[in-house]
Amino acid sequence: MKPLVSVIVPIYNVEKYLNKCVDSIISQSYKNLEILLIDDGSTDSCPAICDNYAEADPRVKVFHKKNEGLSKTRNFAVSVMTGNYYCFVDGDDSVHCDYIMTMYNTMIDNQADISMCSYFYVWNDGRKKLTRNTEFSEDTVFTDTGLDALRKILYGKTYAPSCWCKLYDKSKTNLYCQPYLTGEDVLAAAGYFPAFNKVAMSNKPLYFYLQNDASLTKVFKPKNIYDTVLTADEIYKISVETSKTLTNAAAYYLIEKNLMVLMKLYGHEGQEDKIKHIKENIKKHRKTVIMDSEAELRTRIACLISYFGIGTLCRIRNMITK
């Protein structure tokens, strides 16, 4: 029998999507599963839905806990799971029937410490957007050292930073998510990826990532948005302390996130301290990004424009994106 895989599903008020999510896990071609449904204090019908699945399938285990957020929910699940391997599926997402089998085979066949797959963005109206590298076939497997994989994550290339669409070997991965509202997946990756001798990713898109307009990352709340900057600060610090070879990639990631948040906060009252912090970050790291041939051209140009002032930068980017 194949090793036990724990499938962790953090759940909070996703009653509209939860059946599709859990059904896609129960129907996996990889059968030796422990399915952990972690109800993070839901106030809708999710607790009852979870309990119904536990009654119907002995592989399902349900935990009801007070609301603490996604990161703490993931950390709790990792502490109680019993599988040799584990993976995540968010409660409003779903997966292909070969999601786990493909990542397991990718890991074993390539003697990798972690395996991954590509994914789709999906919308409620049926639209889908493919994320895999279309220059290569679905049968392609990408491999790297953990350090090189993290560098590509910071540049936004090849590997997704998310905790989902990955299969972890419990004996080799000390996964811990910091409780930020946004960016916690990359922060976790910065902590564990450098320790891997080899990572492997299947180019098959097997995860369906719902674009939910009600999610924390879609609703304009200055505190939630600014968490992206604070997380990027931590990611830069950890990455540079891990290896100086990550300096350019970490600076690029930091600048990208600061520019994104700047465009959302600029012009809103009461955001002066946050914008001041962003300005300091841009001034500190823009030269590194400008000189970095691996950085995207649009980001390097934005850094150049920033020398004429943040206001000028925001006005020009607004004109370009309209």
Whether 216 is covered by a domain: the verdict is: no
Same domain, 32 and 111: yes
For the segment 217-256, what is each residue's pLDDT rounded down to a tens digit? 455 566 678 889 999 999 999 999 999 999 999 999 999 9
Whether 217 is covered by a domain: the verdict is: no
What CA–CA distances, in Å, run from 197 to 66, 114, 147, 171?
37, 9, 8, 14
Answer whether 244's CB lies under 8 Å from 133's CB: no
Q: Is the dihedral of CA 50, 55, 61, 62 positive or negative?
A: positive
For the segment 32-46, what is each residue's pLDDT rounded down to a tens digit? 999 999 999 999 999
Answer whether 183's CB lies under 8 Å from 216's CB: no
Residue ending a domain, among 210, 232, 250, is: 210
Q: How far apart are CA 313 and CA 308, in angstroms?
A: 7
Whether 11 is covered by a domain: the verdict is: yes
Answer whether 59's CB lies under 8 Å from 35's CB: yes
Residue ending a domain, among 185, 210, 235, is: 210
Same domain, 168 and 234: no
Same domain, 61 and 146: yes
pTM: 0.90
3-state secondary structure of 254: helix
For the segment 7-36, what is each residue's pLDDT rounded down to a tens digit? 999 999 999 999 999 999 999 999 999 999
Q: How far apart are CA 100 and CA 122, in angstroms?
A: 20
Same domain, 180 and 278: no
pLDDT over 70, % of the chain: 95
Residue 113 predicted with pLDDT over 90 = yes
> What is the residue range of 250's domain?
222-321
Same domain, 161 and 126: yes
Type of residue numbered 116: M
Same domain, 172 and 279: no
Whether 167 is covered by a domain: the verdict is: yes
Number of domains in the chain: 2
Q: Average pLDDT over the chain, rounded to whole? A: 92
| Confidence grade of residue 214 (pLDDT, cut at 50, 70, 90) | low
Type of residue numbered 250: A
Whether 133 is covered by a domain: the verdict is: yes
**CATH classification at residue 129:** 3.90.550.10
Question: Closest by alpha carbon to 10, among 226, 237, 184, 145?
Answer: 184
Angle value at C-alpha 143, between 36 and 241, nearest 5 degrees = 80
Residue ending a domain, among 210, 239, 265, is: 210
- Comparison of pLDDT for 280 and 269, the residue scoring more: 280
